[in-house]
Structure 1
Amino acid sequence: MKILLTALNSKYIHSNLAIRYLRAYTEKLDYNCTIREFTINDILERVLEEIMGENPDIVAFSCYIWNIEYVKSLAVLIKLVNPKIKILYGGPEVSYDSREFLKSTAGDYVIIGEGEETYSEFVKFLIEYFQNSKEMTNESVFSNLRNIKGLCFRWQDGIILNEPRKLMDRDKIAFPYDLEEDFRHKIIYYESSRGCPFNCKYCLSSTIKGVRFLNVERVKKELEFLITKNISLIKFVDRTFNCNHEFTVELWKFIIDLDTDITFHFEISADVLTSDEIELLQKAPKGRIQLEVGVQTTNDEILSNIDRYVKFKEIEEKVKKVEKYHNVRQHLDLIAGLPGEDFKSFKKSFNDVYSLRPDEIQLGFLKLLKGSSMREEAKNWGMVYSPYAPYEILRTDSISYRELVILKRVEKVVDKYYNSGKFIHIVDYFVARFETAFDFYYELGMFFYKNGYLSRNISSVEYYRVFIEFEKQFLNEKSIELNEIIKYDYLKFNKKRWLPDFLVRYKNKNEEKLLKQKIKDKGTVLSKNYHIEKFSINIEKLLRDSRIEKKDGYVIFDGKRELYFFDHF
């Protein structure tokens, strides 16, 4: 008997934690369990071919809002090719209304909620069934299935919903990663706790009360195993990692002391960070820890509308303290479409967060998930949302569809130009010329839309070129300073030997000869791949003080090192 545990991830670099938990929890059972991972960008027919090539008896899908439509289409095709294959669903997208889901979907079983124990009992039943199917009557088959808590299944002309299962003991969960698994080019997800102490109305975690933690010594051992693999990022999926002070401090101390280049990512509530936790973070090697902070909105009234009883000032204070030593990356989230928040309020939220200059700003859009209390209150706020996954907000009493579309344009240019970090000096140049940061990104987003840049792929060079036209259109200028700033940002992150034709390159062989002699006299040793570029503004001062000073000089790009010469040219 063969079960194919199947994941349709949103990106190739992602790895599915849920199916690995199921395999690990049942590894001692006598059945053939195979994991296959694809992405929602893969061609449907190719994925079908790969699945059918495995010759499974059962295909199990891990279901989320980002893959459910793909999964349902794939299930239909599997049944058309071979109706004998049974299909099992699990995950947050099918757990809330499993009976209705099975009624309208090609498939046979749904595991509701936490899946390990339900899946284990289901596999034990299947092993017995495949071994003794001739002796088992319909009544005994039904009785066995009916006794598996947390299972919903198709039976004859109806759908049977079994008794729910209690939450399991966290320490019974098996370590999900196989010793021989290839982790290269993948984000590794890790879970040290389940549940969340907060009750945000838009989140499914609020429907499960309490938080359950793994033993901290076990977590350390498992992390020690993971850091021996060729990976760059371990992402903790705990909903609020820092909700237990002792647990947080113990693990952060351990992670900070590790001898590794791996980055560890945590979702936290910044407002509950304690002074000693912040002091501990300041000791972390640069790049070791990155924090994702769910701000959602800086409007305290809107925060109370979603049962987040926190003041933005508390978040702001803690974020600034963490930022002080520039060693911990911070990723701040905002959500558009929250109950009661209008366009003006969201604009203020954006500017408030932008003023903190986090490493990343994520603009998300409210999704009314099945089972969330926010969906139940939708009519109270005039919320209209898509009936199709991911159930994204379309409009509310406070914000229109058109305004949300505009914010999507803003989100795209913020992600490309701010979050990538490759255009930061260009962005700073423009933001200073608009009343607020939001005004700049709004105009840039509209510019991209009107010129068709949002509807097609553009080259990396074009992402720099657009600023020449943007400056002329919105500022009625064409400045040498902007050309030099674009040139610096371009050379910082791209090939040095070639410049696009819209950037000015100055060549003076005599000056370069003198510069090389000066470097030699100072005893500075350069690599073979260094690059010299002349600028007409003082790049060193731009980087240090964010000031533009017209002054000829040179920058030497030498790997990650840069040398500045603006005193004698």
Structure 2
Amino acid sequence: MEITLATLHVRRSAQAVPLAAGCLAASLPKPLRRKVRLLDFFPDQDVATVTRTILDGKPEMVAFPVYVWNRVQVVAIARELSRQAPSVRLVAGGPEAGGDPHKLAATAPWSALVLGEGEESFARLVEELSANDDPTPEIPGVLFPGFSTALTSQLQPPLELDKLPSPWLSGLLAPTPEGGVVWEVSRGCAFGCDYCYEAAGHQGVRSHSHQRLRAELELFTQIGVSQVWVLDATFNYPPQRGVDLLELLLETAPQLHYHLEAKADFIDPQTASLLSRLSCSVQLGLQSTDSKVLSAIHRHLDLDILSEKIHLLEAQGVIYGFDLIFGLPQDSYSGFIRSLDTSLSFSPNHLHIFPLAVLPGTRLAQQRNHHRLVAQTEPPYEIIRSPGWSEQDLLRSRILATAVDIFYNTGRAVAFFPALLELFEIEPHQLFDELTDWALQQPDIDQAMLLASDLWNAHDAYRLQQGFLSWRLKQAGLSHLTTAVLDLLCYHFHYAEALLGPELPFASDTEREPADLWTTPWIRSTQLRLVPFAYEVLDLQEMDEMSFAEFVELFRPVGSTALFLRQGGEVLCESLSDEMLRLLKESDGRKTPEQIFSGSLNQEIGRELVAFAVAEGLLHCRT
């Protein structure tokens, strides 16, 4: 049987890894694995294109993992596949199949739905279909539309993870050099939050063996993967499990960058210390900072404990971010902005804000009448209104969330945001309200554009910051501070760009000792950033110790040009002398240093300047 496992991803990104499809394919007997084709699709591809690509492989079965973000398009694809190739068997799985299987079953001519963890169920289904066109409707974990079997009898118990083959080690998923991987460390969750189906059907965490995890890490290292998204709902619960995982990462693949999800309550000094030795970021799901709101969805937060745990991370220099949800039961717009202000008072590296989704199969969906929630009945299942939330409040929250995403997250504002709040003497939500009011008055920005925060890049956010803050300073009668504020923005923008950009390699031995440094044409490395400032950049680096008003009183805008680069994992920012700036700017691969300076610089000093620039990798021979 020829099988196609088709994954429609949420977007094109390093995280677009067909992990579910790979796990299903790996679960099949080896003879059947060879008949599996994994295909990746994206929202910008239309139904006709996807259908044609799938049918080009002449499959006998097509299976889809179905999620909130792809359900509508997957259903449309399934219908078109059935129309063009009615003999092809269509199978659906994933969270949408498990959350409300009978509703999904009615949307398209599905042959079967795989519920819950699907490896064993899918393998059994494929084996039966390979041997028999009419499989028994009694396969655990499989629902056959048209049969009136009670759903509860179809549920598959949690699988023993040690029995499941790795899609990475089996070669069904292939990591790529400098690419990203989505790495499953465990399944399940020890916590039962009402809005989430991570622990649906059971509570508790099952971890993959360290033997398997080590082998996968060694593979990622061998291939040269750059980023790893760790799939573990709470990697640090219980704390010793988190410690063991971090020690494994440090021992096996310390050079990779990891994205982890943690619960703040269980961060301890040992965990914070281990995190500091890794290249990583940690996401902490607060959802709200109001204990009454959290209690209504079976969560807990003590702000004093949170403060203590965040201090541990900050003391170790660990990058962390928060999650918030607006639209929660027992919450309101005023409560949401309090949570926003409280969250930003900790200066997280980023703050992700989402609308409440009443997902099928969750406790919240079962209690929607109790909470009097009105939500969408189709994906993305977002809240429409409730006793505490009017539709206008939810729209205001959505606009506020996108303002945070653009200005704070994409604009990488964490380093200078507290200084802005102090300067304007306002709370975070007030600054973002003013930002949205100003932005919507600009001729090139409307509400739809503002809400499409995914379309904004760092350069867009930087230009928005420049325009808004120039206006805000003028409104506050602080125009005399504008140059200093814009210089600080410029410094942090280019620092972040250098940090996230390519490394500058040191020069090779052959370039360090050419026949004659002075008469060799050099070309400036493309990894360098030469950035002009109104103030001396070294003075700007002192601004953390003083207010904007104190800075302007103490320093004058004498002008400087800074060099930004990343080398050896560190960002370097240096103020350039006039001679070094001239050398770097005019080294275009045609002119020699002798021609650039044409007698204006002592040759001995000039040779030392060139030797330094070449040795540091700032200049190289044209190839």
Q: Give the TM interval when normalised to the shorter protein.
A: 0.7 to 0.9
Q: What is the CA deviation profile of residues 31-53 of structure 1, one whole-angstrom value per residue up to 9, with x for unaligned ones? A: 61110011123233222221121
Other structure's SS at 1:106 match: coil
Match of 2:54 among 51, 72, 75: 51
Superposed CA RMSD in Å reads 2.8
Aligned partners of 1:271, 1:409: CA distance in 2, in Å?
Answer: 30
**1:253-309, CA deviations, whole angstroms, 9 ceiling, x for partnerless residues?**
121344543211221111122333233334x14xx1221111111111111111113
Please say if residues 347 and 414 of structure 2, whose CA atoms lie closer than 8 Å, have aligned partners that are also in contact: no
User: Which residue of structure 1 lines up, in the alignment, with residue 375 of structure 2?
Assistant: 385
Name the structure 2 match of 1:120.
Answer: 123
TM-score (normalised: structure 2): 0.77
Q: Secondary structure at the match of 2:86?
A: coil
Distance 1:430 1:81, change over 3 A: same
Task: Give 1:81 deviation, angstroms.
Answer: 1.4
Alpha-carbon separation, structure 2, partners of 1:428 and 1:544: 13
How many Å separate the matches in 1 of 2:543 and 2:185?
43
Classify the secondary structure of the residue corresponding to 2:340.
helix
Secondary structure of 1:552 counterpart = coil
1:90 to 90, 93, 100: 93
SS in 1 for 2:154: coil
Task: Report % sequence identity.
Answer: 23
Deviation at 1:316, TM superposition (A): 2.5
Aligned partner of 1:405 among 355, 372, 395: 395
Pairing 1:365–2:359 present: no
Q: Which residue of 2 aligns with 1:420?
A: 410
The residue number in structure 2 matching 1:75 is 78
Q: Does 1:222 align with 2:233?
A: no
Query: How many Å apart are 1:468 and its aligned residue?
Result: 5.5
Q: For 1:305 and 1:260, locate their aligned partners in 2 and report how far apart those are by CA, in whole Å.
A: 40
Residue correspondence of structure 1 range 119-138 to structure 2 within 5 A: 119-129=122-132
Does the alignment pair 1:183 with 2:176? yes
* Counterparts in 2 of 1:159 and 1:356: CA distance versus 1, 3 Å: same
SS at match of 1:204: coil
Letter paired with 2:144: F
Matches within 5 A, 1:24-423: 24-30=26-32, 32-129=35-132, 141=134, 144-155=135-146, 163-177=154-168, 178-179=170-171, 181-184=174-177, 186-207=179-200, 208-258=202-252, 260-282=254-276, 284-285=277-278, 288-326=279-317, 328-423=318-413
Q: Distance in 1 between matches of 2:228 and 2:529?
A: 33
Contact 1:99–1:159 under 8 Å retained in 2? no
Greater displacement, 78-87 / 108-117: 78-87
Cα distance in 2 for partners of 1:546, 1:424 equals 16
Q: Which moved more, 1:93-102 or 1:540-549?
A: 540-549
Match of 1:10 in 2: 10
Contact 1:99 1:160 in 2 (8 A): no
User: Structure 1-normalised TM-score?
Assistant: 0.84
CA contact (8 A) 2:268 2:312 kept: no
Which ranges of structure 2 fall in alignment gaps of 5 or more residues?
450-454, 496-523, 566-570, 578-623
CA separation of 1:322 and 1:427: change in aligned 2, threshold 3 A: closer
- Residues 422-431 or 231-240, more deviating: 422-431
1:562 and 2:573 equivalent? yes
Distance 2:142 2:331 in 1: 39
Structure 1 residues 397 and 186, CA, compared in 2 at 3 Å: closer, same or farther? farther
Kindly indicate whether the alpha-carbon contact (under 8 Å) linking 1:337 and 1:404 is maintained by their aligned counterparts in 2: yes
- CA shift, 1:248, in A, is 1.6
State the Cα distance separating 1:185 from its structure 2 match.
6.1
- 2:111, 2:145 within 8 Å by CA — same for their partners in 1? yes
Taking a change above 3 Å as real, the CA distance of residues 446 and 406 of structure 1, as seen in their structure-2 partners, is farther
CA distance in 2, matches of 1:459, 1:232: 21
1:20 and 1:532 map into 2 onto residues whose CA distance is: 46
* Secondary structure of residue in 2 paired with 1:206: coil
Distance 2:176 2:467 in 1: 43
Task: Name the amino acid aligned to 2:32.
Answer: D
Task: Give the Å deviation of 1:555.
Answer: 4.3
- The one-letter code sitting in structure 2 at the alignment partner of 1:541 is E
Q: CA separation of 1:188/1:464 partners in 2, compared to 1, >3 Å: closer, same or farther?
A: closer
* 1:256–1:119 distance in 2 versus 1, CA, 3 Å: same
Q: In structure 2, the residue corresponding to 1:175 is in which secondary structure?
A: coil
Query: How many residues were matched structurally?
Result: 520
Matched, 1:552 2:543: no
For the residue of structure 1 that corresponds to 2:236, the secondary structure is helix
Once the two structures are overlaid, the 10-residue window that deviates more, 335-344 or 448-457, is 448-457
Q: Residue 509 of structure 1 aligns with which residue? A: none
Q: Which runs of 5+ in 1 are unaligned?
A: 134-140, 496-525
Q: CA deviation at 1:112?
A: 0.6
Distance 2:199 2:248 in 1: 30
* Alignment partners' CA distance in 2, 1:185 and 1:455: 34
SS of aligned partner of 2:7? strand
Compared CA separation, residues 245 and 262, structure 1 to 2 (3 A): same
SS in 1 for 2:357: coil
1:459-478 alignment runs, 5 A limit: 463-467=461-465, 469-471=467-469, 474=472, 476=475, 477=477
Per-residue CA deviation, residues 383-418 of structure 1 (Å, 9 max, x unaligned), is: 111111110112221122111111111211211221
Tell whether the 8 Å contact from 1:336 to 1:366 is kept in structure 2 after alignment.
yes
Q: Give secondary structure in 2 for the equivalent of 1:80.
A: helix
Query: Secondary structure at 1:413's aligned position in 2?
Result: helix
Residue-by-residue CA offset, 1:341-385 (whole Å, 9 max, x unaligned): 111111111111101111110111111111111112222223111
> 2:531 & 2:262 partners in 1: Cα distance?
43
Cα distance in 2 for partners of 1:459, 1:294 equals 24
Deviation of 1:220 after TM superposition, in Å, equals 1.9
* AA at the equivalent of 2:192: N
- 3-state SS in 2 of match to 1:292: strand
CA shift in 2, pair 1:431/1:361, >3 Å: same
Cα distance change on mapping 1:277 and 1:319 into 2, 3 Å: same
**Greater CA drift, 300-309 or 113-122:** 300-309
Deviations 1:301-339 (A, max 9, x none): 11111111332322232122111121x221211111111
Alpha-carbon distance, 1:454 to partner: 4.0
In the superposition, relative to structure 1, how do residues 397 and 357 fare at CA in structure 2: closer, same or farther (>3 Å)? same
Instruction: Give the secondary-structure state (helix, strand or coil) at the position aligned to 1:405.
Output: helix
CA contact (8 A) 2:99 2:359 kept: no
The answer for the alignment partner of 2:568 in structure 1 is: none
Letter of the structure 2 residue corresponding to residue 470 of structure 1: F
AA in 2 matched with 1:42 = Q
1:455 offset after TM fit, Å?
2.5
Residue deviations 1:77-129 (CA, integer Å, cap 9, x gap) = 11121111111000011113212321232322100111000001011112212
Write the distance in 1 (CA, Å) between the matches of 2:435 and 2:531: 32
What's 1:510 paired with? none
Quickly say closer, same or farther: Cα 1:118–1:375, change in 2 above 3 A.
same
Cα deviation digits, residues 216-265 of structure 1 (max 9, x gap)? 23222222222222322111111111113332212211213445432112
Question: What amino acid is aligned across from residue 226 of structure 2 in structure 1?
Answer: S
Q: CA deviation at 1:527?
A: 7.2
Alpha-carbon separation, structure 2, partners of 1:29 and 1:244: 40
Equivalent residue of 1:482, what SS? helix
Which letter does structure 2 place at the counterpart of 1:531?
A: L
**Counterparts of 1:473 and 1:530, CA distance in 2:** 28
Could you tell me how far apart the structure 1 residues matched to 2:209 and 2:139 are?
A: 28
Amino acid at match of 1:121: R
